[in-house]
């Protein structure tokens, strides 16, 4: 929900940093791998009870997640082709990070709320990826969340809200169960909204 508002505010700075890094030979895939490593480390920090460290790692990991796309755009401006493989790596890394934080809390003893949150992520992710596949098939495009390798359908819970909830969980770990219930429910609402949108957009003409 907030991604379309925040992207225009952060993209100029990310693009400048991406140009600087690309000019020095840093690739988008390298930064994607770095961001994934930091995100997984955040999940491990949660499991070990180092919630403050986890919060810092989340911020660093998401910074890397923004920079890889900026580096890819800088490479395109230099005439290099758009990398479908890079986009694939990016979305896999994102989903791995989204799983790592609830798994860390499950390891720390909050198994049931973490399982509910992971189930909600699974359903919401399926609604997101299925919509993206069919949007690509029909040539539907959007840049509301910035330039992406696949169609990003808007929803109540997007990247910005996810990071906000993850940071809240790390800053107030005692409230994880309540936050997971709220966050997971909102993810399911988002999935339901995407299903309704798909029913409207992809409905075949009768006859």
CA gap 31, 63 in Å, rounded = 10
CA gap 165, 180 in Å, rounded = 8
pLDDT per residue as tens digits for the range 93-124:
999 999 999 999 999 889 999 999 999 999 99
Q: What is the CATH number of domain 3-201?
A: 1.20.120.1760
pLDDT per residue as tens digits for the range 48-78:
999 999 999 999 999 998 898 889 888 878 7
pTM of the predicted structure, to 2 decimals = 0.83
Are 195 and 127 in contact, with CB atoms under 8 Å apart? yes
């Amino acid at each position: 929900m907030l991604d379309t508002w925040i992207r225009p505010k952060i993209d100029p700075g990310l693009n400048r940093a991406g140009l600087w890094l690309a000019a020095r030979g840093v690739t988008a895939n390298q930064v994607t791998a770095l961001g994934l490593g930091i995100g997984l480390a955040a999940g491990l920090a949660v499991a070990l009870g180092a919630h403050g460290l986890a919060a810092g790692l989340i911020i660093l990991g998401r910074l890397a997640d923004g920079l890889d796309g900026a580096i890819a755009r800088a490479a395109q401006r230099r005439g290099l082709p758009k990398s479908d493989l890079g986009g694939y790596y990016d979305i896999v890394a994102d989903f791995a990070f989204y799983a790592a934080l609830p798994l860390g809390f499950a390891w720390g003893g909050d198994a049931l709320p973490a399982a509910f949150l992971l189930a909600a992520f699974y359903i919401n992710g399926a609604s997101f990826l299925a919509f993206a596949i069919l949007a690509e098939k029909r040539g539907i495009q959007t840049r509301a969340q910035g330039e992406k390798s696949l169609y990003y359908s808007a929803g109540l819970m997007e990247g910005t809200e996810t990071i906000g909830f993850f940071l809240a969980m790390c800053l107030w770990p005692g409230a994880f169960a309540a936050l997971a219930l709220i966050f997971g429910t909102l993810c399911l609402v988002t999935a339901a909204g995407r299903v309704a949108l798909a029913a409207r957009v992809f409905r075949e003409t009768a006859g």
